[in-house]
Amino acid sequence: MTDILARIITEKRKVIPSTITASSYKPCPFLHKNSFQVIAEIKRGSPSLGLVSPNLSIEDTLRRYEAIGVSAVSVLTEEVFFYGSLKDLESARALTQLPLLRKDFMVDIRQISESQYFGADAILIIMAAFVDDVIPRQLLAESKRLGLSVLTEVHNKVELDRALSIGAEIIGVNNRDLHSFKTDIGVSLELAKFMPSEIIKVTESGIKTAADLMRLRDAGYNAALIGEAFLNVEGFDEVISQL
């Protein structure tokens, strides 16, 4: 683990919550296999883009996503590198009934109850953030205990095998290498060959055209997580609404 990912994880370990108030929120189901789904992202910026939308309106963004028929929403809550916050997640929960994914860097089980408290229905586990599977197993078990779905993210065959070994049921293939931030949808196309049929398969990052989406759907993916295309690809809303 080097470069950007290592820096993000180092910062994240500094802000682990000490205690979390119990939440009465009951998470709802996140994804299914009945049709191809789109997870649209609420994103203010990233290490590769910088701060793109400092005045982003959570409400306006959600209304836009609901109008084009997305299935779920991913909310960036990492503050230092992605300019998000838990306040964004809390605001989104108050404004929509769509399932919400807290997209952040989970390194401690206390973040799971924190995610539920702020209204998440699902959390992200990034296999590249861990040198072994001890903490990912703990995160997965705690999420199941609290009723949250887990999107387990991989970028290569080794990480995919690790995700399967800990019992991941929803696996996301990140087409972006978190060490270099280079993007290639060929990563998803290659790893699709090794995914068991019972897994809910999600492709993430680098998706910019209808042709990309169709190619990935035809490769067996059940959903696509899309962020930057909503920020900088003209006419992308129409692409999604026509799926």
- As a whole number of angstroms, the distance between CA 189 and CA 209 comes to 15
Nearby residues of 50 by Cβ (< 8 Å), 6 or more positions away: none
Q: Decide if 1 is inside a domain.
A: no
User: How confident is the model over 167-193, as pLDDT tens digits?
Assistant: 999 999 999 887 777 889 999 999 999
What is the pLDDT at residue 241?
76
The single residue of 153, 175, 188, 222 carrying the catalytic annotation is 153
The single residue of 71, 143, 188, 205 carrying the catalytic annotation is 205
Q: Decide if 134 is inside a domain.
A: yes
Give the total number of structural domains in the chain. Answer: 1
- As a whole number of angstroms, the distance between CA 80 and CA 73 comes to 21
Query: Can 87 be counted among the known catalytic residues?
Result: no
What is the pLDDT at residue 237?
82
Domain with 191, as residue range(s), is 30-241
Query: Can 205 be counted among the known catalytic residues?
Result: yes
8 A C-beta contact, residue 68 and residue 240: yes
Query: Can 103 be counted among the known catalytic residues?
Result: yes
Query: Can 174 be counted among the known catalytic residues?
Result: yes
Query: Can 204 be counted among the known catalytic residues?
Result: yes
CB neighbour burial string for 203-214, b if at least 16 within 10 angstroms, e if fewer = bbbbbbeeebbe
Q: Decide if 15 is inside a domain.
A: no
User: How confident is the model over 23-41, as pLDDT tens digits?
Assistant: 889 999 999 998 999 999 9
Q: How far is CA 233 from CA 1, 65, 177, 208, 225, in A?
A: 31, 15, 21, 7, 15
Q: Decide if 19 is inside a domain.
A: no
Closest CA to 37 of 99, 116, 112: 99
Instruction: Residue 155: give its domain's CATH number.
Output: 3.20.20.70
Q: Decide if 14 is inside a domain.
A: no
* Count of C-beta atoms within a 10 Å radius of residue 39: 27
Q: Decide if 8 is inside a domain.
A: no
Q: Decide if 96 is inside a domain.
A: yes
What is the pLDDT at residue 1?
42
Query: Can 159 be counted among the known catalytic residues?
Result: no
CB neighbour burial string for 129-139, b if at least 16 within 10 angstroms, e if fewer = bbeeeebbeeb
Residue numbers in the chain where pLDDT is lower than 50: 1-2
Query: Can 41 be counted among the known catalytic residues?
Result: yes
Q: Over pLDDT 90: what percentage of the chain? A: 78
Q: Decide if 20 is inside a domain.
A: no
